[in-house]
Amino acid sequence: MDTTVVLTSTNPYGSRTLTIEADRTSSVAYLRDAKGIVHGAVWLANHVPAPAEADAGRAAAGLPPVMPEAHTAHPSGRPPLHAESLSVLWFEEGDGVALYENDALLAVIPAWADLERGMPGYARDAVGESPYAWPLGEALEGLSPRVAKARAYWQWRQADGSWATYQQFVLGHLDSRLGPPGRYWDVSGDRFPLVGVSERPPTFTRDYTVLSTVGMSCQRMPAAEMYDTACRVELALATRQDPRTAARLFAWLGQYPWRSVTWLGHGHTARWFQNPVTFPLDGGHQGVLMLMDPPGLPDMSGFTFGGDAVRWLWLLPLTESELRLVADHGHRAISERLAMTSRI
């Protein structure tokens, strides 16, 4: 029996796709990454009378699962789903999604859904926990605020002037911390999310330029909430080298969390993705270490957005041996003995 695709929706960052698939027997929603790998799934409905037991053979054949009668609110089945009655709401981070039928919440696949760990998404018509779906009604206390926040965020983000207003808030904060601005570059490459770089030339109190991203904190990072870490960040770099060349680091990392569905945080490292000789800063470096509030560099605290404190991660260039040292022993093995201003 052939499976048909009822609906497809890709998140604004191009990193996750929701696909509703169905045959005459049942419907299911899959959350896949850009390579097609399934990261979350949830049964949506049976369209025929439910069996007494699960049919493992359907899954093995790549067909939508059929929910056993004890775990569905409609053991006699319900009509098929139609694309015109369905709508999709992506979470701000792009790693989770809510599905509506006729404006009523039908299912949610949160970021933490993981079939391999026995954690499917939540479905309105599910009864009790099963490998195919958990009951949506029992989880609404926690999920409803997330869904409401997602709707409010995208309504704001799509409104005229929202980006310009946000930009001015961030630039104003940079003015207060780093002094007057210099040049500004867009490093988004016509892709979402929008990210720019603000240059802050040397002042009478410092002999180096500071570069900062503008735009990363406009959306929460995927998965950050699951690790109890800062969910909104910007990146910064102190340099005495050509700022235009150094800004390539932000074109590399500025959209990384949403493209790769992950988060950047204190103590993280990133290895340059091209030939090491093309690294934007001189000095034999092959990657960067990211640190919050490193000694000797400006204090960037005091900016909030969307109710969250925004933290600045300073990029510290590292050599190959230093990258290995951090990988083996953690960032403290190197950060405490690095003179920040000697690296720029």
Inform me whether the pLDDT recorded for 304 exceeds 60: yes
Average pLDDT value for residue range 20-31:
96
Q: DSSP secondary-structure letter at 272?
A: -
Residue whose entry in the numeric block shows the structure tokens 């999709």: 88
How much is the pLDDT for 227?
Answer: 87
| Phi/psi of residue 119, nearest 5 degrees | -125, 85
CB count within 10 Å of CB 51 equals 14
Taking CA atoms, 37 is separated from 16, 60, 82, in Å, by 10, 16, 25
Alpha carbons 264 and 266: distance in angstroms, whole number: 7
Strands (DSSP E) found in 173-307: 184-186, 196-200, 209-214, 232-239, 269-271, 287-292, 304-305
Residue 144 CB contacts under 8 Å (≥ 6 apart), including other chains: none
**Residue 276, token pair as written in the block:** 């090491």
pTM: 0.93
Alpha carbons 169 and 72: distance in angstroms, whole number: 49
**Residue 173, token pair as written in the block:** 């904060």
Residue whose entry in the numeric block shows the structure tokens 């309504």: 155
Inform me whether the pLDDT recorded for 337 exceeds 80: no
Alpha carbons 79 and 274: distance in angstroms, whole number: 52
Q: pLDDT-derived band of residue 117, with 50, 70 and 90 as boundaries?
A: confident
Among 242, 247, 192, 180, CA closest to 216: 192
Q: Do residues 245 and 280 make contact, with C-beta atoms less than 8 angstroms apart? A: yes
Taking phi over 0 as left and psi of -120 to 50 as alpha, with beta for the rest, 285 belongs to: beta
Residues 231-283: tens digit of each pLDDT: 999 999 999 999 999 999 999 999 999 999 999 999 999 999 988 899 999 98
Cis amide prior to 193 (ω within 30 degrees): yes
Per DSSP bridges, beta strands 308-318 and 184-186 are: unpaired
Among 245, 218, 248, CA closest to 233: 218
Inform me whether the pLDDT recorded for 30 exceeds 60: yes
DSSP secondary structure of 45-70? EESSPPPSS--HHHHHTTPPP---GG
DSSP secondary structure of 168-191? HHHHHHHHHHH-S---EEE-STT-
Q: pLDDT-derived band of residue 118, with 50, 70 and 90 as boundaries?
A: confident
